Amino acid sequence: MNDLPRIGLGIDVHRLEPGRPCVLGGIRFESATGPIGHSDGDAVLHAACDAVLGAAGLDDLGTLFSDKDPKHRDRASADFCTAAMRLVRERGLRVLSLDAVVETEAPRLAPHRLAMRERIAALFELPVDRVNVKGKTGEKVDAIGRGEALRATVVALLGPR
């Protein structure tokens, strides 16, 4: 491994369904709808894992934790983060920072942004000031704008341990 920084990008989209639990960034939201997923559907943590794994030159989340495997059914996405971090450490790397954008009409992220940042920071072994979470709406355009889906995009910067 060289000592140059590595960047990774993760994107995850989930349809929203009434009555589903809504977990984003490891935080449970009170919401009329929640993401549909094989696991808990936490698009923010899924995108963060993919960003970190990609920066480390590893397989993506779907390859490592197939949605065809019943043992991942309803699994907490925090478990995926723990596994991803183990793989990152094994490669002699560490996460330097994470920057996330969550596109959704609902729920509103603003009241929960700090809690999300704190949870993500803990999962990826970072100080809170190295994690950012921004909420955006879909401006009534496409499935996100109609409240049918949400999308999370995360950029990760990794460096040597």
Complete domains list, the chain, with CATH: 6-160 (3.30.1330.50)
Q: How far apart are CA 84 and CA 89, in angstroms?
A: 9
The one-letter amino acid code at 53 reads L
Q: What is the pLDDT along the chain (161 residues), one digit of tens a residue?
A: 568 899 999 999 999 999 999 999 999 999 999 999 888 899 999 999 999 999 999 999 888 887 777 676 677 899 999 999 999 999 999 999 999 999 999 999 999 999 999 999 999 999 999 999 999 999 999 999 999 999 999 999 999 99
φ, ψ (nearest 5 deg) of residue 45? -70, -35
Q: Is the pTM of this model over 0.85?
A: yes
